[in-house]
A and B are shown apart, each in its own frame.
Chain A
Amino acid sequence: MKKIDRAVWKETVYVALWTLILSALMQAVFLILGKWGLSVLLGNFWGAAGAVLNFFLLGIGVQHAVSQNDPKKAQTVIRLSHTLRLLMLVVFAAVGVLVPVFQTVAAVVPLIFPQVAMLFRPKFGGIDENKEGGA
């Protein structure tokens, strides 16, 4: 088992923190709408766990891919990672929708929280956009 890169840990912690903040916001919205319940909280935990796990596995996949010498092999590695993670997300979303313990919306919406977190990433100084020609 290869050691996990520091950049992957750093980004995962950042995404987990943002997921926590956005989850709190979502709970507040449910509370304001008067639809809050234990199923909302549990659904939120389930969806958020799936989202952060998906991001962490993406990080491991990217780390594994960029350590390849052959670009074609790297391409194959990341495509395989994408397929397997998508399957994992299908399971997470299906369980979140089908199991009555989880509220459907609260279980599905957190799956896009890492994307929202990454949209704010350049504003919080994580990635220098001028580095490497803005790539």
Chain B
Amino acid sequence: MLELAIGIILGCCALGAGFAMIAGIGPGIGEGNAVAKACEAIGRQPESKGAVTSTMLMGCVIAETTGIYALVIAILLIFVAPNMLVDILLTAIGG
């Protein structure tokens, strides 16, 4: 029974990490669209390249925020949460 409970904890942590990383897809798509539009803008006004690059950098960093949050959550779910939850389970059973 204990093995089953630990297995469920590990499985749920892995599933949660996988689901969290779905958020990593969005920034890639968003950045791609933004850069494509920036490319078109520079094609129309080549003199604005510096300004567009700076603005693009800011936009890309902000767009990436959700991806990095998801990554942090996934890493914690994979490496930190299982040990913590198993410890809590063992303490609860022991108590």
Flag if A93 contacts B71 (CB, 8 Å): yes
Flag if B79 contacts A94 (CB, 8 Å): yes
Residue of A nearest to B69 (CB): A112
Residue B38 interfacial (CB < 8 Å): yes
Q: Number of B residues contacting the other chain (C-beta, 8 Å)?
A: 41
Flag if B55 contacts A127 (CB, 8 Å): yes
Residue B5 interfacial (CB < 8 Å): no
A79 touching B31 in the complex, CB below 8 Å, given contacts A86-B71, A89-B68, A97-B79: yes
> Of A58, A70, A131, which is within 8 A of B64 by CB?
A58
| Interface class of chain A by DSSP | helix
Flag if B35 contacts A104 (CB, 8 Å): no
Chain B 36-94 residues near chain A, CB threshold 8 A: 36-43, 48-58, 60-62, 64-65, 67-69, 71-72, 75-76, 79-80
A66 touching B75 in the complex, CB below 8 Å, given contacts A97-B80, A115-B68, A132-B48: no
Contacts of A108 in B (CB 8 A): 72, 75-76
Residue among B53, B57, B61, B71 facing the most chain A CB atoms (10 A cut-off): B57
Which of A2-10, A26-34, A36-44 interfaces with chain B?
A2-10
Residue of B nearest to A62 (CB): B56
Chain A 9-33 residues near chain B, CB threshold 8 A: 10-11
Contact code string A52-82 (vs B, CB < 8 Å = 1, else 0): 0001001100110110111110111111001
Chain B 12-52 residues near chain A, CB threshold 8 A: 24, 27-29, 31-33, 35-43, 48-52
Flag if B35 contacts A78 (CB, 8 Å): yes
A93 touching B72 in the complex, CB below 8 Å, given contacts A66-B56, A127-B58: yes
